[in-house]
Amino acid sequence: MQQYELNLDVETKGEGIRHRRTRVSVQAAGGKTSRQEHVYRRNRELIARYYYWTEIRRRRFDDVMRILSEEFHVEERTISNALLDFGDYLDGLYKGKKDIRELKKEYPYRNWEN
């Protein structure tokens, strides 16, 4: 059984929204996966692709946002939210100076040569 941790913005107070990060454990039971787990995995892969396009392929931010929006069929706002939620993962990619070989190992089904 796999276990994932998710970051969710959940707290609302008064008139506006106050954001607080919380950790939620999601477990895959009996081969079924929850929507949250799918979103978590998609966003983690999206961040790896963001790193690839910005650091390895050296593309501009606005170009990367357009590419990822088309690649994952999501709005740019969704990408921005993923960047906020997975900042630690992205920092780890930058600090570890991951190369294409390492990204292929983590996401073997994705084409890392385009």
Over residues 35-62, the pLDDT tens digits come to 999 999 999 999 999 999 999 999 999 9
**Residue 33 banded pLDDT, cuts 50, 70, 90:** confident
Evaluate whether residue 114 is within a structural domain: no
Evaluate whether residue 112 is within a structural domain: no
User: SS3 for 7-69, per residue?
Assistant: EEECCECCCCECCCEEEEEEECECCECCHHHHHHHHHHHHHHHHHHHHHHCCCCHHHHHHHHH
User: What is the span of the domain harbouring residue 51?
Assistant: 3-106
Mean pLDDT within 60-85: 96
Give the distance between the most distant pair of CA atoms in the chain: 49
Evaluate whether residue 37 is within a structural domain: yes
Evaluate whether residue 24 is within a structural domain: yes
Tally the residues of the chain: 114
pTM of the model: 0.71
